[in-house]
Amino acid sequence: MVSTFHGLEVAKRGMYAQQTALSTVGHNVANANTPGYTRQRVDFQTTTPFPTPSLNRPQIPGQLGTGVEAGAIERVRDSFIDSQYRGENNKLGYWETKSQALSSLEVIMNEPTEQGLANTLDEFWQSLQNLSVSPQDSGTRSVVRQSGQSVAETFNYLSNSLSAVREDYRAEIDVTQKSVNTIIGQINEINQQIAATEVHGYLPNDLYDQRDLLVDDLSSYVNIIVKPQDSGGLSVPSAVGKYDIYLADQNGIIMKDGSGNDLLLVNSRDDKVSGIQIDYDANSVKGVKLVEMEADGQFMANEVNIDVETYLGNANGSLRAYIEAYGYQTGGTEKGIYTDMISNLDAMATTFAKKFNEIHQAGWSLSELKNGVKESKTFFDLSDPASIGASKAISLHRDIISSVDNIAASGEQGGESYSGSGANALALANLKDEMLNYAGTDTSVTSFYQSLIGDMGVQALQANQMTDNTNILRDSVLTRRESVSSVSLDEEMVNMIQYQHAYNAAARQITMVDEMLDRIINGMGVGGR
């Protein structure tokens, strides 16, 4: 026999379930603009029907439904799309940062412009050509001195500017590793909160969102692989669990240390995390360390060293780009975007200045012709280039600064030298096309510098193109994720009306059952009174 009040219980459960759904809709609408929020939905489930199968069951035509309940409130999330997004976000972090580094390099080199080194050198060669025609003209000699001064100062400016920006990228590396370690620590804290909630059978959806937002942010810095782990206890099957986060290579494979152990950033089993630290040596990065931290963020002595070349060969993300921009050691050699450019400018300044001085010392200046004494004066001064770099050290020699008569424009003709000869100035001007060894390559100074600028342009173009491509791919995945997980106000309003009508219908059913009961209680058995 079915209870007289069965209809009231069914309607009451319906009202409670729809009320839960309406509250969830309100939560979605309130967080429509919250970064990282994932829309939630109520998982409606039918309650256990009556009667339960047994030998003493009541003899009714069949099992009767007992209503509905809110089984769980779950996020609408696709973990596969999350993995795709983090992979593309990781690539974008690398190419975007590299593009910025190369763009800053292009701004410093400032080619092709009137203020660039190429044009400054062209003006210098032209002034020497003019001097070969008018070797006795003091105005022409002044132009040569001023042009030479401009060449030295341009080398100095480029070297100082490149060094300054390079140091900025070291600061960016420090900022990045602090950001990475902070994010890792925050993920670890949320892991513990999630575990403490899941063991009681609840789904901490908002904590899931906070953690996923941090993981998305972390993916822009370093390669990661995320593996959920069961929290245990009374965790429901739909619980996401705690996260183990591994350092990964470019192919999405977990990186290992020298002993073959997996490199863990967040370890859910013992509530420990590994902070990333950059190992510097002199003016470059020599390695990356994973330093173990306790749950409170304090560093321990345990650490795993990763050779920087191994790390760069397997990594993406902005941390890799910052290291490449600043410079790193590989095989005992320092490499990097800014390191290579400074090194090439030093090689260019050294070879150019030494050969120029050699030719200059072979000629005769007006002061030497006047005194009849060969002094072999130098034109460019390269004092102490080893410690600070030739491009930063190069300057006009004090003898040239003190008097333009010390410029050796004259050469020997027929065994004699005279002031009207501009042969040596012409030889100096011809250095422009002379084949010399620049950084291991036999080429002219003009061609060598053009190759530097050309290589820089090609790298910048590639970085810009890859930034655009990866940005398009990431945005495409993001659009797919938002189509699944983001809050649509139109959809939520439709759901709100739907749940409201269902709630009203359940309330109307209670009214109807109440009227039936009123008829039974107050209207039956009154006949014949």
- Per-residue confidence (pLDDT) for residue 219, from 0 to 100: 96
Per residue in 17-37, pLDDT tens? Answer: 999 999 999 999 999 999 999
Average pLDDT over every residue of 375-393: 84
Is the pLDDT reported for residue 315 higher than 70?
yes
- Per-residue confidence (pLDDT) for residue 114, from 0 to 100: 87
Is the pLDDT reported for residue 1 higher than 60?
no
- Per-residue confidence (pLDDT) for residue 434, from 0 to 100: 92
Is the pLDDT reported for residue 492 higher than 60?
yes
Is the pLDDT reported for residue 415 higher than 60?
no
DSSP 49: P
- Per-residue confidence (pLDDT) for residue 295, from 0 to 100: 64
CB 351 within 8 A of CB 397: no
- Per-residue confidence (pLDDT) for residue 411, from 0 to 100: 81
- Per-residue confidence (pLDDT) for residue 167, from 0 to 100: 94
- Per-residue confidence (pLDDT) for residue 282, from 0 to 100: 77
Q: Tell which residue, 71, 73, 69, 68, has the closest CA to residue 23.
A: 73
**How far from the centroid of its chain's Cα atoms is residue 107's Cα?**
21
Is the pLDDT reported for residue 357 higher than 90?
yes
Write out the DSSP string of 378-404: -SEE--SHHHH-HHHH-EE-HHHHH-G
Q: Any idea what the Cα angle at residue 48 is, between residues 43 and 53, rounded to 5°?
A: 150
Cis peptide bond N-terminal to 112, omega within 30: yes
Q: Tokens 């006047």 correspond to what residue?
A: 370
Average pLDDT over every residue of 62-71: 87
- Per-residue confidence (pLDDT) for residue 293, from 0 to 100: 79
Helix (H) or strand (E) holding 102: helix 79-109
Average pLDDT over every residue of 494-518: 93
Residue type, 280: Y
Q: Return the sign of the alpha-carbon dihedral for residues 490, 491, 493, 494.
A: positive
Residue 475 CB contacts under 8 Å (≥ 6 apart), including other chains: none
Helix axes of 138-198 and 79-109: crossing angle, nearest 10 degrees: 160
Q: What percent of the chain has pLDDT over 90?
A: 71
Per residue in 80-116, pLDDT tens? Answer: 999 999 999 999 999 999 999 999 999 999 988 888 9
Average pLDDT over every residue of 441-456: 94
Per residue in 474-487, pLDDT tens? Answer: 999 999 999 999 99
Q: Tell which residue, 97, 168, 161, has the closest CA to residue 345.
A: 161
pTM for this entry: 0.89
Per residue in 217-260, pLDDT tens? Answer: 999 999 999 999 999 898 999 999 999 999 999 888 999 888 88
Is the pLDDT reported for residue 463 higher than 60?
yes
Per residue in 273-308, pLDDT tens? Answer: 899 999 998 789 999 999 987 766 677 767 888 989
Let me know how long the chain is: 529
Average pLDDT over every residue of 118-146: 94
Average pLDDT over every residue of 179-195: 94
Helix (H) or strand (E) holding 224: strand 224-229
- Per-residue confidence (pLDDT) for residue 104, from 0 to 100: 96
- Per-residue confidence (pLDDT) for residue 373, from 0 to 100: 81
Q: Tell which residue, 194, 218, 117, 167, has the closest CA to residue 453.
A: 117
Is the pLDDT reported for residue 414 higher than 60?
no
DSSP 266: E
Give the alpha-carbon dihedral of 327, 328, 331, 334, to 10 degrees: 30
Q: Tokens 């959809």 correspond to what residue?
A: 491
Query: Which whole-number Å values give the CA distances from 427 to 132, 239, 381, 400, in the listed order?
Result: 9, 81, 19, 18
Count Cβ atoms within 10 A of the Cβ of residue 298 and give its class: 0-12 exposed, 13-18 middle, 19 or more buried: exposed
Cis peptide bond N-terminal to 58, omega within 30: no
- Per-residue confidence (pLDDT) for residue 454, from 0 to 100: 96
| Residue 349 banded pLDDT, cuts 50, 70, 90 | very high
